[in-house]
Structure 1
Amino acid sequence: MSNSALLIIDVQRSFEHRPFWQEEDFPAFKQAISRLIEGCESRNVPLVDIFHVSQGPFALESGFVTPMSFLQHEPQARFYKHVHNALTESGLDLWLHENKINHLIISGLRTEQCCETTTRVASDLGFNVTFVTEATMTFPMTHADGKTFSTDDIKRHTELVLAERFATITDVDGALAELDANIPSLSVN
């Protein structure tokens, strides 16, 4: 069986200080990612916090590169990234290999950016990946032609391009069921 880890990508206070921040999808996201974290904790799946560091509210000195206030878990590891994927030059890849982890469960912010990019890179590096769309969040985006894509549009597109190529696409219940199905049964002698 694979050894799994839950990546909690960019669920940091920095986003609350960006002009595109919206609360509309936040309650459902909080509930889904909290259920996923609790489910992984109860199954002894390591929790890994990933934080994006750049400028403005994403600068370390801003004080906002910290977990959003609803998060109460204690991660087994924490990594800081300066690019869209969590694996490049963050130390995460080495940590995963040292801990013999070959299955990543993806959650966090933003669905189509850091979560999707991490999924693609992880797959290319040979990891099995489960993308838990329900436990990701994004914001509406407007194309140069003026058409605005809703968060549902963006999430559906991400699922379309990742499915069967880069990741297994599922919801929280599916991810936890996948973990349960892969737990070796105990034999009693």
Structure 2
Amino acid sequence: MSRSALINIDTQQSFFHRDYWQENDLPAFQQAITRLISGCQDLNIPVVDIFHEDGDDPFARASGFVKPMPFLTHKANVTFEKHVHNAFTDTGLDHWLRTRDINHLIICGLRTEQCCETTTRVASDLGYRVSFVSEAMLTFPMEWKGVTLDAATLRHRTETVLAGRFADIQTVAECLESLS
């Protein structure tokens, strides 16, 4: 039998204070992640909040920004603080999940191609079944060597490299339907 947990990664106020912050996709993200969290709570699926703290100004605990974005009103079952890109290294998350016989993780949050993808890869390597709900994730354009990838391209690239290898790629509706 599959036991699930929702892993909400880095949906924190720190991002408002980064020069790459954009609100273009924020309304759709807010709606999707709120539906996903609410749907999981209605199904008694634990919600785990993960916050990134690395001492880097807005991501430093002392900044006061390592806390949920204002639109999030849920009460997490448990909260972990991470200091690297994945939610497992030195956090206690794996232990918490295994002591509850949780073997299926639903991933949402910020940034699709960084902490969400890295957590997904590690979770898969640790033996968890993973649902990657990129509709309930947010990211921003990135530039390297003169080429800029927009958020949609980054999302597609991330889904492409994870699909069928590390995770099932699902919409919020598909995820919630599969849990019912």
TM range (shorter): over 0.9
Q: Deviations for 1:94-133, whole angstroms, at most 9, x for unmatched residues?
A: 1001111100000000000000000000000000000001
Alignment of 1:11-26 (within 5 A): 11-26=11-26
Larger radius of gyration: 1
User: 2:103 is matched with which residue?
Assistant: 102
Amino acid across the alignment from 1:102: N
Match of 2:159 in 1: 159
**Map of 2:132 onto structure 1:** 131
- Give 1:143 deviation, angstroms: 1.7
Show structure 2 runs of 5+ residues with no match: none
Structure 1 stretches lacking a partner, 5+ long: 181-189
Instruction: Provide the residue aligned with 1:171 in structure 2.
Output: 171
Amino acid at match of 1:178: S
Equivalent residue of 1:50, what SS? strand
Alignment of 1:68-83 (within 5 A): 68-83=69-84
AA of the residue aligned to 2:178: E
* Residue 60 (1) aligns with residue 24 (2): no
CA distance in 1, matches of 2:4, 2:23: 31
Q: Secondary structure at the match of 2:109?
A: strand
Q: CA RMSD for the aligned pairs?
A: 0.5
TM-score, reference length from structure 2: 0.99
Alignment of 1:14-53 (within 5 A): 14-53=14-53
**SS of alignment partner, residue 134 of structure 1:** strand
List per-residue Cα deviations over 1:59-95 (Å, max 9, x = no partner): 0000000000000000000000000000111110110
- In structure 1, the partner of 2:91 is 90
Q: CA shift at 1:178, angstroms?
A: 1.0
Aligned position for 2:10: 10
Q: Could you give the per-residue CA deviations for residues 3-55 of structure 1, whole angstroms, max 9, x where no partner exists?
A: 00000000000000111000000000000000000100100000000000011
Identity of aligned residues (%): 60
